[in-house]
């Protein structure tokens, strides 16, 4: 079997930085179990599979494709950085002629468009509802111990638990917090939670001036201990913080990358060019 596969580093213009994703171009239908086998072999947080929707389509001139994402252990309904990586491969390596690409996914249609030397990606917003502390107390104790919590929300659309840490903490505390993900699968095995978002309100001054919120994301339930830059978590974060702050334009930051948000949809903008590493005859 010969499949063109690229490794693209999203959110960076330099090799071996940012958040890597594998991108596989499918000329023909692939057996279902083969998707997972390839993703397991690539062993990255996500492997994206781009497929033609019709036999007459081609990757250079068509503008609409199917897109699926797999971690090393399971398929996921949405992955932001692997979608950016997919668009980047089509735009910059395959030389797709279109200015906008549409991806048909489990989360609906996603659009990626050229924006000068960047790629802009529109993602949906997902609401998060108040979550009773006692229902997730064991999960939180396992993950963050006695760390003070300000708010807890749950997003049923994404199966993500959003945990806002106390406003008394600063960015440095969040970045250096030791999070125990090793036992989370045993503590939460109901299938309700597939991702844990830790977030913190931005500070008005000092080293953190200019950011509305900070976050880290953990998903051991799908084989990703910590995802350094994740677009899917920000579909929940942007909705939550927009309500909390009363803002439609925000700046958020992970440990590796800053996001710009323009609601009513969540837009990833100002994404630098990516680096690519084609793998032959995989």
Task: Please give the positions annotated as active site.
Answer: 46
Give the number of other CB atoms < 10 A from CB of residue 176: 8
End-to-end CA distance of the chain: 7
Sign of CA dihedral 168, 170, 172, 176: positive
Contacts of 178 (CB under 8 A, 6+ apart): none
- DSSP assignments along 93-111, one per residue: IS----SEEEEEETTEEEE
Contacts of 196 (CB under 8 A, 6+ apart): 139, 143, 160, 161, 163, 184, 217, 218, 219
Helix (H, G, I), strand (E, B) or coil at 127: coil
Kindly report the length of the chain.
282
Helix (H, G, I), strand (E, B) or coil at 126: coil
Structure letter (DSSP) for residue 264: S
Q: Which two tokens stand for residue 205?
A: 């001054």
Give the residue from 256, 280, 275, 272 showing the smallest Cα distance to 116: 272
Q: Which two tokens stand for residue 173?
A: 């505390």
């Amino acid at each position: 079997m010969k499949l063109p596969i690229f490794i693209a580093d999203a959110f960076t213009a330099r090799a071996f930085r940012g958040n890597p994703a594998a991108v596989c171009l499918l000329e023909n239908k692939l057996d279902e179990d083969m998707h997972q086998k390839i993703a397991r072999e690539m062993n990255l947080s996500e492997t994206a599979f781009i497929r033609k929707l019709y036999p007459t389509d081609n990757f250079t001139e068509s503008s609409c494709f199917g897109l699926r994402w797999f971690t090393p252990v399971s398929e996921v309904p949405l992955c932001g950085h692997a979608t950016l990586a997919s668009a980047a491969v089509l735009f910059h390596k395959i030389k797709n002629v279109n200015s906008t690409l549409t991806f048909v996914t489990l989360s609906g249609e996603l659009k990626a468009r050229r924006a000068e030397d960047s790629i802009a990606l529109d993602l949906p917003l997902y609401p998060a509802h108040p979550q009773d502390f006692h229902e997730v107390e064991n999960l939180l104790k396992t993950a963050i111990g006695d760390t003070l919590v300000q708010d807890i929300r749950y997003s049923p659309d994404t199966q993500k638990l959003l945990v806002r840490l106390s406003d008394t903490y600063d960015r440095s505390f969040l970045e250096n917090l030791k999070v125990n993900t090793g036992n989370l699968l045993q503590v939460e095995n109901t299938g309700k939670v597939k991702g844990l978002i830790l977030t913190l309100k931005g500070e008005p001054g000092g080293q953190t001036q200019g950011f509305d919120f900070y976050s880290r994301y953990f998903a051991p339930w799908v084989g990703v201990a910590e995802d350094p830059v994740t677009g899917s978590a920000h579909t929940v974060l942007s909705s939550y913080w927009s309500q909390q702050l009363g803002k439609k334009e925000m700046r958020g930051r992970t440990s590796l990358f800053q996001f710009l948000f323009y609601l009513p949809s969540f837009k990833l903008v100002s994404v630098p060019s990516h680096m690519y590493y084609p793998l032959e005859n995989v």
